[in-house]
Structure 1
Amino acid sequence: MTERILITGAAGRIGTALRPLLARPGRILRLLDINPVEPGQDDAEIVTASFNDPDAIDGACKGVDAVVHLGGKPGEGPWEELAEVNVEGTRQVLEAAVRQGVPRIVLASSIHAAGFWTRDDVGPDGSLPAGVAPRPDTLYGVSKAAVEALGSLYHSRFGIDVSCLRLGAYRSEPLSTVDLTVWISHGDGARLVEACLAVPAPAAFRVLWGISANARGWFSLAEGEAIGYRPEDDAERFAAGIAGLERFDWSDPVLHRVGGGFCAMPLG
């Protein structure tokens, strides 16, 4: 039986990286973005539209088995834009999923929804649980906390299986000392999404850290492992090439807080 997955924000950085890793026989990817998506050899269905358009997202959700909602405004910015794209846009996606009977949705949240948690807050095992309450570090973080809240609401009201991924530094390789703790590789990102798509019934609401198995990481991966996420990558193998590694100091606020430098940046 053919599986159809809708990916929003498919032309973005994360969507572009995930597309080839999620493509497989027996699966059709439906790729939505307001910007053009390049055709490929994966026979993907391409929809050029905004997920803020109720009619467009309604049509895009028709007949799909799951939605991977990656679309949004990345990084700090004016609240009006963040609220319109990240918050209202996510509501539109969830509303369309309800109307079309989509049973499963994966929402791209961010570590910045929980940015003011610190290493002092870790549990007995030395890691910070994935489900800690939001402590956003920016207006961007607030918008992602709202994404999580919407996911919780639509699970509780309508029974949709919702996974919120508090994504760290999603890159091909870590670029900084902070990345050594919060990096998630392209491969692990795909493994995490696949775990969320495959988790068996009953439907649930879950919040997961989107982070690789980094030696310097202090984020609980147990919640992801419980649904089959098996990260294979570790930022430490890139450590020798990271500038400033000799000054790595856990007392540095940038390394002590989940949100790093976002905790001190100007708002808006």
Structure 2
Amino acid sequence: MKRLLVTGAAGGLGKAMRGRLKGMADVLRLSDIADMGEAAAHEELVVCDLGDRAAVDRLVEGCDGIIHLGGISVEDKFSKILNANLLGLYNLYEAARANGMPRILFASSNHTIGFYGQDDYLDASAPMRPDGLYGVSKCFGEALASMYFDKFGQETALVRIGSCMEKPKNHRMLSTWMSHDDFLSMIERIFRVPRLGCPVIWGCSNNDSRWWDNSAVSYLGWHPKDNAERFRAEIEATVPRPSAQDSIAIYQGGPFVDDPIFEED
């Protein structure tokens, strides 16, 4: 690709992947509303509020692909989620439609199915069971992407990210963890496969205790190599095991199921 857009570049995952994405395109166009630091020689930094339709259209112009990590990533007031995750995503898809429909990786979430139990093993056909307004916003995003694919042919990878970080931090993440290396290899396959469509991809590594079945997207040729099991002994030794009645031990969404609905000011 000549130019790859990464939204949410100042967020935790955006920062972690920024250097790793250097070889994906001649130019990385990085966007956020927060400070992104200094631009490297191959980078363009663009401050953009996803709720600003005209600004998003300018942001997408000239891009060959989009990694959409932007938006609210935790439970929050509906007004904030509405602007960034609903209106902002609509603006992104309209901008993509007006600018050649570059392929999109949409960072969805395991919180679209957070109320399933940890004894459930899910494939992409499982009905959504969001665990909060944030999860609902990701359900909206997946539905929006599906409609744009069916109506206009806009290809999108709906990546239900589990826990993408350097290493798992608790017992639940032994099932949900995705390494940065495995995420990078997924990104590479998403943008290189001849035909993508609009698939749901479970964003986790090759963990022994994973809850999610990715067999429906075997055509991508993505084979995650890391396994959270190598951290089990460390977690068992350093992280107290939750009680059997704790949401983090019952639900796939963990403590998100307990989050309140935040009141507006």
Same fold? TM cut 0.5: yes
Name the CA distance, whole Å, in 2 between partners of 1:50 and 1:205. 26
Corresponding position of 2:162: 168
Q: Tell me which amino acid in the other structure corresponds to 2:37.
A: E
CA drift of 1:80 comes to: 1.6
Name the CA distance, whole Å, in 1 between partners of 2:24 and 2:159. 25
**Mapped pair 1:20 → 2:14:** no
Q: What per-residue deviation string (whole Å, max 9, x for no partner) do you get for residues 172-201 of structure 1? A: 111101111101111111112222112212
Partner of 1:107: helix, strand, or coil?
Answer: strand
Q: Is the 8 A contact 1:8 1:51 kept in 2?
A: no
Q: Indicate the percent of aligned positions where both proteins have the same amino acid.
A: 36
Q: What per-residue deviation string (whole Å, max 9, x for no partner) do you get for residues 17-58 of structure 1? A: 111111117532111111222234451111122222112211
Structure 2: gaps spanning 5 or more residues: none
**Mapped pair 1:106 → 2:105:** yes
Select which of 220, 235, 251 maps to 1:227. Answer: 220
Q: Is the 8 A contact 2:247 2:258 kept in 1?
A: no
**Mapped pair 1:29 → 2:28:** yes
Name the CA distance, whole Å, in 1 between partners of 2:243 and 2:202. 23
Corresponding position of 2:260: 266
Partner of 2:16: helix, strand, or coil?
Answer: helix
Q: Is the 8 A contact 1:155 1:204 kept in 2?
A: yes
Q: Tell me which amino acid in the other structure corresponds to 1:47.
A: V
Q: Is the 8 A contact 1:64 1:102 kept in 2?
A: no
Select which of 235, 251, 254 maps to 2:248. Answer: 254
Partner of 2:199: helix, strand, or coil?
Answer: strand
Structure 1: gaps spanning 5 or more residues: 123-127
Q: What per-residue deviation string (whole Å, max 9, x for no partner) do you get for residues 227-248 of structure 1? A: 1221111111111111566847
Q: Tell me which amino acid in the other structure corresponds to 1:30.
A: R
CA drift of 1:83 comes to: 1.5
Corresponding position of 1:188: 182
Relative to structure 1, the CA distance from residue 224 to residue 17 in structure 2 (aligned partners, 3 Å threshold; closer, same or farther) is farther
Partner of 1:6: helix, strand, or coil?
Answer: strand
Moved more, 41-50 or 13-22: 41-50
Name the CA distance, whole Å, in 1 between partners of 2:13 and 2:55. 22
Taking only aligned residues, the RMSD between alpha carbons, in angstroms, comes to 2.1
Partner of 1:23: helix, strand, or coil?
Answer: helix
Corresponding position of 1:159: 153
Corresponding position of 2:46: 47
Name the CA distance, whole Å, in 1 between partners of 2:53 and 2:213. 37
Q: Tell me which amino acid in the other structure corresponds to 1:59.
A: R
Q: What per-residue deviation string (whole Å, max 9, x for no partner) do you get for residues 54-79 of structure 1? A: 12211111111111111011111111
Name the CA distance, whole Å, in 2 between partners of 1:161 and 1:12. 24
Name the CA distance, whole Å, in 2 between partners of 1:133 and 1:28. 38
TM-score normalised over the length of structure 1? 0.89
Aligned length: 261
Relative to structure 1, the CA distance from residue 241 to residue 85 in structure 2 (aligned partners, 3 Å threshold; closer, same or farther) is same
Moved more, 94-103 or 236-245: 236-245
Name the CA distance, whole Å, in 2 between partners of 1:66 and 1:255. 38
Partner of 1:24: helix, strand, or coil?
Answer: helix
Corresponding position of 1:239: 232
Partner of 1:97: helix, strand, or coil?
Answer: helix
Q: Tell me which amino acid in the other structure corresponds to 2:86.
A: V
Q: Is the 8 A contact 2:24 2:188 kept in 1?
A: no
Select which of 208, 217, 232 maps to 1:215. Answer: 208
Corresponding position of 2:83: 84
Corresponding position of 2:67: 68
CA drift of 1:133 comes to: 2.3
Partner of 2:201: helix, strand, or coil?
Answer: strand
CA drift of 1:117 comes to: 1.9
TM-score normalised over the length of structure 2? 0.90
Describe how 1:120-135 pairs up with structure 2 within 5 A: 120-122=119-121, 128-135=122-129
